[in-house]
Amino acid sequence: MRRVAVIGVGDTKFGELWDASFRDIGIRAGLAAVEDAKISAEMIDAVFVGNMSAGRFIEQEHIGALIADYAGLARDHIPATRVEAAGASGGLALRQGFMAVASGLHDIVVVGGAEKMMDVSDIASSMIQSSASDQEWETELGATFASLHALIARRHMHEYGTTREQLADVAVKNHKNGSLNPKAQFQREINRDVVLRSPLVADPLRVFDCSPSSDGAAAVVLCPLDDAKKYVETPVEIIGSGQASDTLALHHRRDILTMDATRIAAKKAFKRAGLEQKDVQLAEVHDNFTISEILAIEDLGFFKKGEGGKATEDGRTALDGEIAINTSGGLKARGDPIGATGLAQAVEVVTQLRGVAGKRQVKDASVGLTHNVGGTGATVIVHIFRRS
């Protein structure tokens, strides 16, 4: 297998993008990545697109061909492939692109992710997001996506003494990071009180424990590492990639406080990378709810099981902590346009490893990780990146 580098990144602002359509934002992010890589369109061999539910959000399927078409690539008839794994769609697309280059099948690949969520009502959006869960055993019985995470949160508090305040601290940290990111949906700092006084969604989770609905897109350009220096000064290599599945329904899991798919995807990625957790300076993890970040930093092996809340409270995951978690603001403040999220994580890590993350730059960052989750953990994708 060949070594693979990211040579271009691009994204849109995340948020309520009323002036742009799905195809608009998809193309904007893709073209920004292509421009950043300093390649021309004729050089692209294939496109992979991550998207969760354009069928329901904008009544359009066939998203791979759509994006290739409006990017002007239909002329060259290049293959365009959409992949879907709910919230992990973006990371899954990145993994397909990575494999296509690593295997020698393609040389230059553009991987994009996009979702346009704001064109439907809040109720419809909530229902669509619930289709990441088990429709017959969870959704139909009234279990919303937030309520499933509330079960996890309540049990984590009971089992490990995680406090309501520690959950809030995840949001406070991520909003602080988001305030330093001009592409973030929310760029205002908040404090514990704001979280604790916000309306209840599903006890114990409140509005500020939840990531927002968002429009947005993000993209990267990949090529063999051996060719990367032709295009950019600072290629970032993808040194590890792992994917794992679990039961769709939460109640079928061995333990709802451990995402086994995170553990296994991380194990595979670290093995391939030949690194350990201590070698990583920053990670973008899937904080669709505050409790999710706590589970993630535990299951990725950065902290012991049950100690994620305390670690957050103690500032160990802050920008200047032992490991900077969600420097972009995370799904919580950067926003969560579902299919784009996995790619936005990659864009942030590459930006950090290039050393151009501005006010939120992590000092001496050389290795970063992305962690992208579908549903309540039925699909998890982990990638590890290193400055080359």
Q: How far is the CB of 56 from a second copy (least distance, A)?
A: 5
Among residues 364, 344, 353, 357, the alpha carbon closest in space to that of 388 is found at 353
Question: How far apart, in whole angstroms, are the C-alpha atoms of residue 388 and residue 306?
Answer: 35
Q: How far is the CB of 105 from a second copy (least distance, A)?
A: 6
Q: Write out the two tokens for 296.
A: 């993630």
Asked whether position 82 contacts a second copy by CB under 8 A, the answer is yes
Q: How far is the CB of 371 from a second copy (least distance, A)?
A: 15
Binding mask 152-181 for a second copy (x = CB under 8 A): ------------------------------
Q: Which is nearer to a second copy, 167 or 273 (CB)?
A: 273
Q: Buried b vs exposed e over 167-190: b needs ≥16 C-beta within 10 Å?
A: bbbbbbbbbbbbbbbebbbbbeeb
Asked whether position 62 contacts a second copy by CB under 8 A, the answer is yes
Q: Which of residues 227-286 bind a second copy (CB under 8 A)?
A: 243-249, 252, 260-261, 264
Choosing from 16, 45, 56, 192, the residue that interacts with a second copy (CB under 8 A) is 56
Asked whether position 73 contacts a second copy by CB under 8 A, the answer is yes
Among residues 117, 48, 58, 119, the alpha carbon closest in space to that of 87 is found at 117
Phi/psi-derived region of residue 358, left when phi > 0, alpha when psi is between -120 and 50, beta in every other case = left
Asked whether position 195 contacts a second copy by CB under 8 A, the answer is no
Q: Which is nearer to a second copy, 234 or 245 (CB)?
A: 245
Q: How far is the CB of 44 from a second copy (least distance, A)?
A: 11
Asked whether position 65 contacts a second copy by CB under 8 A, the answer is yes
Choosing from 61, 107, 119, 227, the residue that interacts with a second copy (CB under 8 A) is 61
Choosing from 96, 179, 211, 317, the residue that interacts with a second copy (CB under 8 A) is 96
Question: Are residues 236 and 5 in contact, defined by beta-carbon separation less than 8 angstroms?
Answer: yes
What is the residue type of 85? A
Query: Could you give the angle at the alpha carbon of 31 between the alpha carbons of 30 and 35, nearest 5°?
Result: 120
Q: Which is nearer to a second copy, 197 or 252 (CB)?
A: 252
Pairing assessment for the beta strands 205-206 and 367-374 based on DSSP bridges: unpaired
Question: How far apart, in whole angstroms, are the C-alpha atoms of residue 198 and residue 53?
Answer: 29
Distances, alpha carbon 24 to alpha carbons 31, 42, 66, 275, in Å: 11, 21, 11, 39
Applying CB under 8 A, the span of 101-109, 160-168, 306-314, 358-366 interacting with a second copy comes to 101-109
Asked whether position 21 contacts a second copy by CB under 8 A, the answer is yes
Cis peptide before 224 (omega within 30 of 0): no
Choosing from 6, 34, 44, 92, the residue that interacts with a second copy (CB under 8 A) is 92
Q: Which is nearer to a second copy, 204 or 374 (CB)?
A: 374
Applying CB under 8 A, the span of 26-34, 131-139, 293-301, 347-355 interacting with a second copy comes to 131-139
Question: How far apart, in whole angstroms, are the C-alpha atoms of residue 8 and residue 35?
Answer: 7
Distances, alpha carbon 274 to alpha carbons 241, 244, 267, 297, 304, in Å: 12, 19, 10, 19, 21
Q: Which is nearer to a second copy, 36 or 134 (CB)?
A: 134
Question: Are residues 330 and 287 in contact, defined by beta-carbon separation less than 8 angstroms?
Answer: yes
* Residues that bind a second copy in the complex, under the rule CB under 8 A: 1, 21, 23, 52-53, 55-56, 58-66, 68-69, 73-74, 77-86, 92, 96, 99-100, 102-105, 127-128, 131-136, 139, 243-249, 252, 260-261, 264, 374-375, 378-379
